[in-house]
Amino acid sequence: MRLVNVGFRGFMAKAGCRERSCQWLCAALLALAVGGCQGGASKDPGVIGSIEGFAGAAVADDPRAVVAARDVLVAGGSAADAAVAIYFTLAVTLPSSAGLGGGGVCLVHEPGAERPIALDFLPRAAADGSFGLPGNVRGMAVLQSKYGRLKWSQLLGPAEDLARGSSTSRALAHDLATVGTALLDDAEMGRIYGRADGSIADAGDGLQQLDLAATISQIQRDGAGAFYGGPLSLRLASGAQSIGLPLEGGVLRAVQAQTVDALTVNVGERAAYFAPPPADGGLLRAELLALLLQGGVYAAAADPERPHLLVEATKRAFADHGSWSQAGGGAAAAALLVPGHLQSLMQGYNPGAASAIDAPAAAAASEGEDPGSSGFVVADRDGLAVACEVTMNRLFGVRRVVPGTGVVLAAPPAQSGMPLGPMMAVSPQRESVDFAATASGGSAGASALVSVFLDSALRGRSLDDALAAKRVHDSGEPDTVLYEEGTEEAVVAGLSQRGHAVQPSGPLGQVNALWCPDGLPNHPGSCQARNDPRATGLAVIQGN
C-alpha cells in the first residue's frame, strides 16, 4: 500500500467520509490504514509505511495533529519532522494557543549528545508593546533544518488541507467559549468563528480558513523564510498595520530562533532538563522539582504528608518566581537551583502545619492565568526526542486576524514572563531519553508536570495512573489549596487539619508525556505515551 501526502481531509474523501460527523471514525480508519501499510510496505523514504517495527511516539492536544505526526514517523521522518507536522496542524486546529503568530520553546535531545538543548523562539514584545513577534515558523524551520530527514514541503500538507475545511475540535470549542462572543468584534474573527445567529462556534461546527491555507501553502512551497521576507511578509506587515499593529518588514526579518543551554536538576541516576528563562515556567518547574527532591524529602514522606509537602513547595517556588522574575532573574538561574538557596526556601517547613508566604511576591508570580499555550512531545526510533510548548501569550493573542493572511499575532508577554517550560529526563549512563513532557493550563501546569514525573519516575507508577491521579495546587495568591473534584476526602481533610484553606476546582493542568522506564532508543517496548485524561488530545506509539 503506497500513500504519499494524502493528508487527513484527502483520506476522508477517499474513505467516503464527507460529513463532519464522520470525522472521528475516519481518524480511526486512517490509523488502521497506516498500521496496515507495514506488512508489505514500500521502503521508499517519505512514503507512509516505509518504516517497519517501532517508528516512534507522539502526543499532542489535538488528535489530527498526532495523526499527521504518525504519518511522518512511519514514512521515515525524524522526531523533528513529526514535530513540524504537529505544529502546523495545531496552527490550524488550535489557533487559540498555537497560531502562526505565536512563539515557543523546545527541548531537543539528540542520540549520543551529552544533554538536551533548548531552542528559544519565544514571542517577544514588539517595540511599542502592543503585540508579540511571531517566532513559531522560524523555530520550526530551525528545528527541521538541524534534525530533519524529510523535505520541508512534505510536512505541511495535512495542515493546509485542514485549513481549507475541517471542523471545530472540542479543545478549540473550549477556548472559544472561554473568550466568548467578544472575539467576534473583529469582523474576520466573526466570519471564521461566528454562527449566523451571532453565537460562537461549537465543537463539530465547520471551520474554513482559506487565507490561512494560502499562507501555509506559500510557506510549504517557498520555505519558512517566506514568512519573514518577501511578498508574504510584506502582506503580513501591511495587513497588521491596517489594523493598528505597527509590524515592519525589517522587524520580521530580525526574528530569530536560538539554541541555549537547558537547566539541570539531578534526579538520582537521571538528570532532568528544563527550558531556561525567558521561558519562566522552565525555571519555576525546575525549582519546584529541586525543592521536593532535596534531602530525599518527597521520597521519604508518608502518603498523607505528600499533598501538603507539594503545596508548601509550590507556593514557595511561586513566591520566589515573583522575586526573580521582577529582578530579571533569568541570568541567575543556576544560583536558584543550588542546595543553599533551596534550603533557605524550605526553612520553616512543618510537616504538620501550613506556613505563611510572601503574598506580594506570589501575586506577581501568578499573573497570566490565560497563557494560551499548547504542548507536544515526539520521539523517533533513533532516540531523537522533542518536547515543545508554544503560546499566543493569551487565548487568540491580540484577537484580530491580519487581513489577507489568516494569521493572528500573539499578545505581548505578561510582565511576569512567559510560563512555558517543557521537561526531559535523560539517563547519561544508558545514553537514553527516559521522560519528556509538557504542561499547560495556567499556573497549575507546574505542579501537575512535576507531580506526574515524581509519581512515574520516583514512585514507579504507570503513566496512566500518574496522569489520572487527582491534583492539588497552591500558587500562593490567594493562599488557597485548589483540589480537583473527586479528590479523596482523606486528602482534603489532611490539608484542612494542617491549616490550609481548601477549595474545590475543575481540572488542574494538562500534561502530555512520554515515559520510557528502560530508556529510548534501546528499549522502546518500555515506553508509554499519554495525553492527559483531562484533555481531548491523543497519544500514539507506532509499532511498539
Instruction: Report pLDDT for 544.
Output: 61
Checking 494-501 for CB contacts under 8 A at 24+ apart, the result is 494/304, 494/307, 494/308, 495/307, 495/308, 495/311, 498/308, 498/352, 498/353, 498/354, 499/353, 499/354, 500/308, 500/311, 500/354, 500/474
User: What is the rounded distance in angstroms from the CA atom of residue 420 to the CA atom of residue 446?
Assistant: 9
pLDDT value of position 430: 86
Q: Which three cell numbers stand for residue 472?
A: 492539588
30: left (phi over 0), alpha (psi -120 to 50) or beta: alpha
The answer to whether residue 15 is domain-embedded is yes
How many other CB atoms are found less than 10 A from the CB of residue 178?
A: 13
- Residue found under cell 514517523: 73
User: What was the pLDDT predicted at 333?
Assistant: 80
CA gap 283, 337 in Å, rounded: 9
Q: Which phi-psi region, left, alpha or beta, contains residue 45 (left: φ > 0; alpha: ψ -120 to 50)?
A: beta
Cβ burial of 250 (10 Å; 0-12, 13-18, 19+) is: exposed
What is the residue-level pLDDT of the chain in tens, covering all 544 positions?
222 233 333 333 333 333 333 444 344 433 433 333 333 334 566 787 777 789 999 999 999 999 999 999 999 999 999 999 999 999 999 999 999 999 999 999 999 888 999 999 999 999 999 999 999 999 999 999 999 999 999 999 999 999 999 999 999 999 999 999 999 999 999 999 999 999 999 999 999 999 999 999 999 999 999 999 989 999 999 999 999 999 998 999 999 999 999 999 999 889 999 999 999 999 999 999 999 999 889 989 999 999 999 999 999 999 998 888 765 555 578 789 999 999 999 999 999 999 987 654 444 334 335 568 999 999 999 999 999 999 999 999 999 999 999 999 999 998 777 889 999 999 988 889 999 999 998 899 999 999 999 999 989 999 999 999 999 999 988 899 999 999 999 999 999 999 999 999 999 999 999 999 999 999 999 999 999 999 999 999 998 6
Alpha helix segments (H runs only) across 372-520: 444-453, 463-468, 489-497
Please check whether residue 44 lies inside any domain of the structure: yes
Decide if 14 is inside a domain.
yes
Q: How far is CA 58 from CA 72, 187, 248, 392, 543, in A?
A: 11, 36, 36, 22, 12
Task: Name the DSSP letter for residue 543.
Answer: T
Q: Which three cell numbers stand for residue 380?
A: 523517533
Specify if 300 maps to a domain. Answer: no
Task: Look at the block and give the residue holding cell 523514504.
Answer: 45
Residue 38 lies inside a defined structural domain of this protein: yes
pLDDT value, residue 478: 87
Q: Which pLDDT value is given to residue 371? A: 67
Helix-then-strand count for the chain, H and E: 22, 20
Q: Between β-strands 432-440 and 258-261, what pairing exists: parallel, antiparallel or unpaired? A: unpaired
Which amino acid, 314? T
Residue with cell 490565560: 370
* Run of H or E residues at 385: strand 385-391
Identify the pLDDT of residue 44.
62
Q: What's the angle, vertex CA 468, arms to CA 514 and CA 71, rounded to 5? A: 35
Number of domains in the chain: 1
| Preceding peptide of 63 cis, ω within 30° | no
Q: Is the Cβ–Cβ distance between 82 and 73 less than 8 Å?
A: yes
User: CA-to-CA distance for 206 and 197, rounded, in angstroms?
Assistant: 15
Has residue 19 been placed in a domain? yes
Residue 30 resides in a domain: yes
Q: CA angle 290-293-296, nearest 5°?
A: 155
The CA distance from 56 to 36, in Å, is: 16
Helix (H) or strand (E) holding 473: strand 472-473
Whether residue 422 contacts residue 388, with contact meaning beta carbons closer than 8 Å, is answered with yes
**Which three-class secondary structure state does DSSP give residue 273?**
strand
Burial 284-310 (b: 16+ CB within 10 A, else e): bbbbbbbbbbbeebbeebeeebbbbbb
Residue 511: the pLDDT is 97
Domain that holds residue 32: 1-50
The partner residues of 166 in beta bridges, in order of sequence, read 207
* Domain-located, residue 527: no
The one-letter amino acid at 353:
A
* Contact of 283 with 333, CB cutoff 8 Å: yes
